[in-house]
Chain A
């Protein structure tokens, strides 16, 4: 194996430092006793206590989790169907438009997506709130699920399905006993991605929410605009911790399933 040059090592170290130092500072200083952000006043979990007593923030967190959960379920189902359509159905009519509809929402600036969905909800006279946010989030999250599941379906050995069909298994049985278990890790990854995308979103939620449905990012944003508080640091640290744990677990699960498949293949 070729070694890393000094330049390579420097690029990696600086790059990772750039990515992680801001996050680490935020997490460390969330345990700061002092109200002043940069002055270390001793270790304390005081702001975490205040955070949990902050009624509006807690309510917003609960709304966010529920929206993210509903979004992840719908986005996973729709995204998986779209991935199947793109990989298994060859050149159906309108395919070019369909791929366009999958890729465009991923790069579309959020202000446009948000505004257009809001105008739709107004035009059809829908009361804005929990469900309109969930529908809006599902629309862009499903595209990410599609890409992830699609790449998995592309890499998949079709002869397994053909063998099962030749042996007389009905198509639905082949789908549930062969196709689905093989793409399951990608579907899980898509579910988690859809969940975090929904939990993170500020812009689209701001456009599509109504009275009574304030999400956590919306609440954090309005507090940050007013200058930020140590409670926001604590809330951020909790969110970072949750995401990091979820990603580590997902990585381990996917590694293990990959290893099991490798072992079965041998």
Chain B
């Protein structure tokens, strides 16, 4: 009896994830290999299990790679994939540059401040993503707050055009993903033994040298975790490029959305999803390995993605 309940603890969540995560992915692959048609559902062939073995054979015969050939031949898809990767890489680089000083300062703040600073970092992340993106529309639009104040201060005479350009996309991406970068960085920096820096300084290293040769290598797990936590979702981002980017801002998530909701070409949308998945599978596997190793090591995390940190008893 006890053995049975122990089994259930594993089987119930396992089945749920298999049914609603693994199986849907298999269906995406299947439909990516189908042809569109005017019907409900709008693709062909359908797998008819009632037809038995013959149905299965007929199904596999009807599959085609035509959608992938189509994707490879049309510049739009390759361009939006490359553009997504470029935007995602640049945003991640900006996030490291901005996030590191913040995380570093948090880790050096007096112990009693740290939980408050962590909470202050997490709080915006709990408020709606959509609303935070919307807030930037009010700031960046030609008659928005930014131009209003810059013109009022006499710094510029003409309103700057930021909304509907790539700059707006970068600003909003950095803004919405900042906590995902800062919290893992803070978690590793907070645990770092500061006497190592002091030792390096005592041995004559300059402040910059001590930073590059001691702090940065020790913070590497945090940098990797933070970068993956930002890079993977940003590559497939839809809301930010759709609301803040112009029509020339290509991103693969948006292309997929348009293909699905506007063009109603489900097979092509599924093929785009497959391509994006293949591109991201390596970073996702690295992320999973890093996270489960961290978990196994008994690290204590709290926030989204186990990335948050709370210091308790880790150090003497």
Counting CB contacts under 8 A, is B45 at the interface?
A: no
Q: Which residues of A contact B302 (CB under 8 A)?
A: 148, 151, 189
Chain B stretch 1-29: residues in CB contact (< 8 A) with chain A: 2, 6, 8-10, 12-14, 16-18, 20-25, 27-28
Chain A, residue nearest B134 (CB)? A224
Cβ-defined partner of A154 (8 Å) among B23, B261, B295: B295
The answer for the CA separation of A89 and B306 in the assembled complex, in Å, is: 20
Cβ B243 vs Cβ A99 within 8 A:
no
Q: Could you tell me if B105 and A4 are in contact, using CB atoms closer than 8 angstroms?
A: yes
Q: Which residues of A contact B136 (CB under 8 A)?
A: 22
Does residue A16 face the partner (Cβ distance < 8 Å to B)? yes
Q: B256–A105 contact, CB under 8 A?
A: no
Is A112 part of the binding interface, using a Cβ–Cβ cutoff of 8 Å? yes
> Which B residues are in CB contact (< 8 Å) with A88?
9
B13→A85 contact, CB < 8 A = yes
Whose C-beta in chain B lies nearest to the C-beta of A22?
B135
A25 adjacent to chain B (CB < 8 Å): yes
B316 to chain A, nearest CB (A): 15
Interfacial chain A residues near B299, Cβ < 8 Å: 151, 154
Known A109-B237, A112-B236; judge A20-B288 contact (CB<8 A). no
B68 contacts partner chain A, Cβ-Cβ < 8 Å: no
User: Assuming A26-B135, A99-B292, A154-B300, is B178 touching A19 (CB within 8 A)?
Assistant: yes
User: Is the pair B228, A111 in contact by a Cβ cutoff of 8 Å?
Assistant: no
Q: Does A7 contact B (CB under 8 A)?
A: yes
Q: How far is the CA of A147 from the CA of B145 in the complex (A)?
A: 39
CA distance A141 to B13 in the complex (A): 12
| Contact code string A110-153 (vs B, CB < 8 Å = 1, else 0) | 11110111011011000000000001101100101011101100
Instruction: Report which of B8, B31, B129, B269 forms a contact with A200, defined as CB distance below 8 A.
Output: B129
Instruction: Please tell me if the beta carbons of A232 and B102 are within 8 angstroms of each other in the complex.
Output: no
Q: Which of B56-64, B73-81, B118-126 contacts A (4 or more CB under 8 A)?
A: B118-126
Q: Taking the complex as formed, is B132 at the interface, i.e. its CB lies under 8 A from any CB of chain A?
A: yes
Query: Are the CB atoms of B27 and A103 closer together than 8 Å?
Result: no
Pick the contact of B24 from A38, A100, A106, A120 — CB < 8 Å? A120
A89 to B7 CA separation, bound complex (whole angstroms) = 9
Contact check, A111 vs B134: say whether CB atoms are below 8 A apart.
no
Contacts of B301 in A (CB 8 A): 147, 151
Q: Tell me how many residue pairs across A and B have CB atoms closer than 8 Å.
A: 269
Give the distance to chain B from A134, nearest Cβ to Cβ, in Å: 11
Whether B194 is near chain A, meaning CB under 8 Å from some CB there, is yes
Shortest distance in angstroms between A185's beta carbon and chain B's nearest beta carbon?
Answer: 10
Cβ contacts under 8 Å, A86 to chain B: 295
The residues of B that contact A31 with a CB separation of less than 8 Å are: none
Given A22-B136, A119-B28, verify A94-B14 contact (CB < 8 Å): yes
**Are A26 and B131 CB-contacts (below 8 A) given A18-B178, A101-B18, A147-B305?**
yes
Select A217's contact among B119, B130, B179, B238, beta carbons within 8 Å: B130
Which of A23, A104, A251 contacts B119 (CB under 8 A)? A251
Please tell me if the beta carbons of A79 and B236 are within 8 angstroms of each other in the complex.
no
**Assembly CA distance A81 to B131 (angstroms):** 33
- How many whole Å from B167's CB to the nearest CB in chain A? 15
Q: Are A22 and B253 in contact (CB under 8 A)?
A: no
Q: Is A106 a contact of B305 with CB atoms below 8 Å?
A: yes
- Assuming the contacts A116-B27, A228-B134, asked whether A37 and B144 have C-beta atoms less than 8 A apart, the reply is yes
Binding site for A on B (CB under 8 A): 2, 6, 8-10, 12-14, 16-18, 20-25, 27-28, 31, 41, 98, 101-102, 104-106, 108-111, 117, 119-124, 126-132, 134-139, 143-145, 148, 175, 178-179, 182, 194, 228-229, 232-233, 235-239, 243, 253, 256-257, 260-261, 266, 269-270, 273, 276-277, 280, 284-285, 287-288, 291-292, 295, 298-302, 304-306, 312
The 4 A-B residue pairs with the shortest CB-CB distance, nearest first, are: A109-B236, A116-B24, A8-B105, A11-B101
Starting from the known contacts A111-B276, A115-B269, 17 additional A-B residue pairs (CB-CB under 8 Å) come to A12-B109, A19-B124, A19-B175, A22-B136, A23-B135, A78-B13, A89-B9, A98-B17, A101-B17, A102-B17, A119-B24, A122-B41, A139-B20, A142-B13, A142-B17, A151-B301, A189-B302
Q: Could you give 21 example pairs across A and B, Cβ below 8 Å?
A: A1-B111, A2-B108, A4-B108, A8-B105, A12-B106, A15-B98, A19-B120, A25-B135, A38-B148, A81-B13, A89-B6, A109-B253, A119-B266, A120-B20, A120-B23, A120-B27, A123-B41, A146-B13, A200-B130, A228-B134, A232-B134
